[in-house]
Copies of this chain bind each other. A is one copy, B any other.
C-alpha cells in the first residue's frame, strides 16, 4: 500500500505518506523533500534498538550526516529537562537553519522533537516517522508539538508543521498489544465523528488482532479526516476543537489516574461516558452509546475507571485548557457522524456530572 495525503495549512503545506515497508525505503522518502544535510535522529530507548541503526545506515548512504539522540521512553521525557538537552545537542553539533530533525517514535518522541525543531534557531526542518498507532493516526498529524508541566499535559508547545510525515503500518508488528489497542481508541473517536463507511469499518474490528490486519485502512481514514480538519483550522480556533470529542473527560480521568491509564484508554472512557450522559439527556440519538461501547469493548478498551468522579478528577477538569471565561466547550454527537459543540459554564457541567455519576454509577 502506498497513499499520499496532502496537508495544506496557512503556515506550510506538505504530504503525509502511508507506505507499507516505507521504513525500509526511508532514504528515498526523505530525498523527496530534503537535500543532503545534517539530521538529528531523535528516538527513544524502546524504538531506537529496533530501527535506529538501519535508519542511520540508509541516511548515511544518501549523504546525510546523522546525529542520534535517544531519550528515555515514556511521558516523563516530555519535560523542560529533555527539551533543553535536545537543544543543547543541536547547538553542540552546530546544527544550522538548513539542517533537520527527524522524529522516529511514538507521540512522546514526536511532540518533544517537534517542539525542539520549532524553537531551535526559530525553527529548522522537521520530519515525523511515527511508530505507534496512536502517533500514526493522531499525534503526528496536525503540527501540534508539546511538553508537559507539573500542572498539566501539553501546556507548553507550538503549532509547527513538518516537511513530511511517513507512516509505515508494518512497524505495528513490533508494537505491544496495549499500545496498539490504545491507538485504536483515537481511531474510534475519528470514525464516530466521520460516520459512514469509516464507522462501518470499525464495526468489523471484533478483536485486537483485527486492528493490525486493517491498520492501513484505519490509518488512512483517520489521517484523511484529521488532515482535512487541520487544513480548515490549523490553530484550533473552532472546527479543530471537534477532535477533542471524548478528551475533556478523558484528560481528567487520565490525570487523576496519574499514569495508570494510557492516553487512548482514557479517551475511550471519555467517549463512552460523555456519549452516555448526552444520550440520557436526549441530545445524542438513542443507541449511539451502545454502538460506541461495542467497538471499544471488542478490543478490550475500558469504558470506565474508579477515578471517574473523584475529587482528583474534578480538580483536573477545572484546569482544562479549553476553559475560557469559566465556560467549557464539550463536543458531543447528535448522532454518529454529526458532532456538535455544547458550551456551558464550568460549574453547571460539573454539577451535571456529579448528579449523573451518582445516579447512574459509572
Contact = CB atoms under 8 A, between A and B. Distances in A.
Interface stretch (A42-50, A118-126, A132-140): A118-126
A352 interface: no
A354 to B, nearest CB: 21
Interface in A123-159: 123, 144-146, 149, 151-152, 155-159
A152 B91 contact: yes
A94 to B, nearest CB: 7
Interface string A103-116: 00000000000010
Given A11-B10, A321-B96, A118 B158 contact: yes
Interface string A318-356: 010111110000000000000000000000000000000
Looking at chain A's contact residues, the main secondary structure is loop
A316 to B, nearest CB: 13
Interface residues of A, number: 38
A157 B235 contact: no
Contacts of A324: 96-98
Given A98-B325, A319-B94, A87 B157 contact: no
Contacts of A157: 119, 121-122
A239 interface: no
Nearest to A144: B122
Nearest to A324: B98
Interface in A183-207: none
Contacts of A91: 149, 151-152, 155
Nearest to A323: B96
Interface in A268-324: 319, 321-324
A53 interface: no
A169 to B, nearest CB: 29
A97 B157 CA distance: 13
A226 to B, nearest CB: 17
A92 interface: yes
Contact of A146 (B87, B122, B156, B322): B122
A342 B92 CA distance: 27
Contacts of A11: 10-11
Interface in A157-193: 157-159
A50 B129 CA distance: 51
A88 interface: yes
Given A97-B324, A324-B98, A325-B98, A88 B120 contact: no
Interface in A234-271: 235-236
Given A11-B11, A98-B324, 15 more contacts: A10-B10, A92-B151, A97-B321, A118-B158, A119-B119, A119-B156, A119-B157, A119-B158, A120-B155, A121-B157, A122-B145, A123-B158, A123-B159, A123-B235, A158-B158
14 contacts: A10-B10, A10-B11, A11-B11, A80-B80, A87-B149, A91-B149, A97-B321, A97-B322, A119-B157, A121-B157, A122-B144, A122-B145, A122-B157, A123-B158
Pairs of residues from A and B, 10 with the lowest C-beta to C-beta distance, nearest first: A98-B324, A122-B157, A91-B151, A96-B324, A119-B156, A91-B149, A80-B84, A121-B321, A122-B159, A122-B158
